[in-house]
Chains A and B, each alone.
Chain A
C-alpha cells in the first residue's frame, strides 16, 4: 500500500543553520507530494507541494524536489529561524483517491537563538 516515512525527530538546530528533513514514500503510479507545517497549538498549513517528477516546490525559503528515482521528497532550508520551530509533515495523495492524504509521522523542529 501507499506510505510515507519521515526522519525521526526532534531536530534541534541553531538559528541560521541548514535544515534537511528526509521523506521517502511508497506508492504506485505518480502521487502528488506535500509538506505541511503545524505551528504550536494550530492546525496544519500547506508549506509546499509538487505534482510530478522533478518538480520543485518552494515557499518561505523552504524547498523540496520530487525525486521519482529515489522516491524521495526531502525538505530543505538554507538558514532556519526561531520562527520555523514547528512540526513538519510529509504527505502524498494519489490522483484517483479523491484528495485523501497519507501522512508521515511528523518531525518536530526546534530552532534555538
Chain B
C-alpha cells in the first residue's frame, strides 16, 4: 500500500519558534509537495520539489522554507512561527510527470497551532 507519512498529527508551538514538519514517502516518487489547507480557501501550494536538493516556490511561500536532502523525505520549515500560520499542512507526492496518468498521494495532515 502506498504511503505518505507526516511526522505529527497535531503540533502546538509558540510564536517565534522554528518549526519543522517532516514528510516521508515510500513510493520512490520524484515529486513532493507541501500544501496548506484553510476553511473556504481550499488547498494552496507552499513549495514543491522535483528532485533531491531541488525546490520551487508555490503560491504562498512567504514565511516558509523547505529541505529535500533525500528522495523520500521533504521537510517544511517555519523559520519564525506566527499565529497566521496556524493551519492544516498536507504533504503529497507523485511520479515525475511523464504523461497524463499520474496523481498525487497525500499524507494524513499535520494540524499546527501557533500560540
Interface size class of B (residues with CB under 8 A): 20 to 34
**Contact residues of A between 15 and 51, Cβ < 8 Å to B:** 32, 34, 36, 42-46, 49, 51
Most chain B C-beta atoms within 10 Å of own C-beta, residue among A32, A43, A97:
A43
- Interface flags, B31-49, vs A, CB<8A=1, else 0: 1010100001111110010
Task: Tally the A-B contacts, defined by beta carbons under 8 Å.
Answer: 63
Given A44-B106, A104-B42, A98:B97 Cβ within 8 A:
yes
Most chain A C-beta atoms within 10 Å of own C-beta, residue among B4, B48, B99, B106:
B106
B84 sits at the interface (CB 8 A):
no
Interface set of B (CB-CB < 8 Å, partner A): 4, 6, 31, 33, 35, 40-45, 48, 50, 58, 90, 92, 94-97, 99-109
